[in-house]
Structure 1
Amino acid sequence: MTMLDIPTPDGTADAYLAFPADGAPHPAVLLYMDAFGLRPHLKSMADRLAEAGYTVLVPNVFYRHGRAPVVELPEFINPAERPEIIQQLGPAARTLTPEGAMRDAAVYLDWLAASPLTTDGPVGVTGYCMGAGLALRTAGTHPDRVAAAAGFHGAYLATDAPDSPHLLAERITAELYFGHADHDSTNPAEQIARLDKALATAGVRHRTEVYEGAHHGFTQADTAMYGAEATDRHWAALLELLGRTL
């Protein structure tokens, strides 16, 4: 487990790498952060995937704004009590455009392909909150390199915007899984239906589930949105998808 720097066309991305203790090559997984960013909890999630037999890269996608953590975070994040944290993250989030994110994705995939810690072949991608949209975009932008993509409590996956992630559906060859929160203003039922329709129309192998009683951010144990039952369900679904496709 180590921190590293990855040169990109726009600067240098700091990232966390987790890998099995045997030091042998393992299938690669690209893990996209939520808006709170690269921090101890996300590292622990990567460590858990590494224990399951994967080499996992977690980039700080806000690196254009600064190294992680891009804002000072409390050990326990409750946006209701600390709304200024969300406000502080705004400038960092605005540094990441869809175009920039996909330039970065190519770099991350290249880095993983070149690493002696990864096996040859396509990778898996998983993302949380805003990271679910990045996972969906990466699957649609680099279809020859992504075999599986998952997104959990994703935000703004199928909006009316001309660059909404779901519009890449027809390019996707990966198998997809989405675990949606049913209490999530960033991903209402109509957007879930729009995403499902786009994936079905494009013939994408996919499964989407709405986790009853779950809130946006349910996998993040260091936040007030955490749900233990939904998180366990997420791990089962993610590991099943990766195990079958990688």
Structure 2
Amino acid sequence: MNNLTRRQFLATATLATGFALAARPISAAVIKTDSKGLETGTAQIPTADGLLPAYWARPTSGQVFPIVLVVQEIFGVHEHIQDVCRRFAKLGYLAIAPELFVRQGDVSKLESIDEIRKIVSKVPDAQVMADLDATVAWASTQKGDRDRLAITGFCWGGRITWLYAAHNPQVKTGAAWYGRLVGNSTELTPKHPVDVAAELKVPVLGLYGGEDTGIPLGTVQQMRDRLKTGSSKSAIIVYEGAPHAFFADYRPSYRQGDAQDAWQRLQTWFKQHGV
């Protein structure tokens, strides 16, 4: 996609409504967080090549709020990610989720995981880091306190959480949900979490499933070993018997007990590290 086409696409891009087609059928366990006491909306965040759509939520009352970047799964910023933003806002945060695949395509309308993976595989890490930087800059103009900045992400976004914590020294802490830890170095994805673990300065909490077939426990242990050689004081929790996406209440993979425990651990972790 050339720069002109990118600008044209970004200028007209919008967020998904409801759940991504590929995520259906939706589980009866789905959590729906209301907007009572909140301000919510969509934003168009300025970037170098156009306006990046995002969903945000914050408390109605208050002058300044800690910022939480919420990084999407491969399904994009659909209803589940938007609901997570509202959950954070209920806790007193300005939570914002930018649509990080928007230049490569609209994954919300695709019906198969294979189609989505073709889109996601084209997203450069450098582009994502720059878009998250732009998102922080925008949030800081919307009652967000960039001195109290956290990041969390799920699946694809879990990997990005580790990488952005290494990229931006302003990040105070993060929580990575079942993000891939190892991989081949390519032009678009030159480094993976295990490659930045030893140099990481930011304390990140990793939340992983013991029965995640896509993230072998051997790679989790490899990440733990690398973290021990650094100074970030990061930690990884593995939930025995939990599959991938155990927090995704709209999917069959949801494990209520593990999800609730991990959500509480995240809150405690963020508070311990000043966010």
Q: Normalising TM by the smaller chain, what interval?
A: 0.7 to 0.9
From 34, 56, 63, the counterpart of 2:73: 34
* CA pair 200-127 structure 1, distance change in 2 beyond 3 A: same
Correspondences of 1:1-246 after superposition (within 5 Å): 1-67=40-106, 70-72=107-109, 85-113=112-140, 115-142=141-168, 144-155=169-180, 157-159=181-183, 161=185, 163-245=191-273, 246=275
Give the C-alpha shift of residue 56 in structure 1. 0.4
The one-letter amino acid paired with 2:193 is: P
Percent identity reads 25
Contact 1:26 1:54 in 2 (8 A): yes
Query: Given the superposition, is the C-alpha separation of residues 120 and 169 from structure 1 closer, same or farther in structure 2, using an over 3 Å criterion?
Result: same
Aligned residues: 231
The code of the aligned residue for 2:248 comes to: Q
1:182, CA displacement in angstroms?
1.1
Look up the match of 1:79: none
Structure of larger gyration radius: 2
Letter of the structure 2 residue corresponding to residue 72 of structure 1: K
Unaligned runs of 5+ in 2: 1-39
TM-score (norm 2): 0.79
In 1: Cα distance, 2:42 partner to 2:184 partner: 38
Contact 2:136 2:146 (C-alpha < 8 Å) held by counterparts: no
On the 8 A contact 2:69/2:152 being kept in 1, the answer is yes
Residue identity matched to 1:138: Y
C-alpha displacement at 1:123, in angstroms? 0.5
Give, as a single letter, the amino acid of the residue that structure 1 aligns with 2:117.
G
Q: Distance in 2 between matches of 1:201 and 1:10?
A: 39
Question: TM-score, normalised on structure 1?
Answer: 0.87
Distance 2:143 2:81 in 1: 20
Q: Is the 8 A contact 1:64 1:95 kept in 2?
A: no
Answer yes or no: is the 8 Å Cα contact 2:44–2:54 preserved in 1: yes
Supply the distance in 2 between the matched residues of 1:203 and 1:38 (Cα, whole angstroms): 33
Indicate the larger mover: 203-212 or 103-112.
Answer: 103-112
**Secondary structure in 1 matching 2:95:** strand
**Letter of the aligned partner of 2:114 in structure 1?**
Q
Give, in angstroms, the shift of residue 239 of structure 1.
Answer: 0.7
Amino acid at match of 2:108: V
In 1, distance between residues paired with 2:179 and 2:146?
Answer: 29
Alpha-carbon distance change, 123 to 195 in structure 1, aligned in 2, over 3 angstroms: same
* Partner-residue secondary structure (3-state), 1:103: helix
Matched position secondary structure for 1:19: strand
Q: Tell me, what secondary structure is at the counterpart of 1:213?
A: coil
How far apart, CA to CA, are the structure 1 residues paired with 2:194 and 2:166?
A: 9
Q: Are the aligned partners of 2:67 and 2:149 in contact in 1 as well (CA < 8 Å)? A: yes
Q: What is the CA distance between 1:160 and its match in structure 2?
A: 5.2
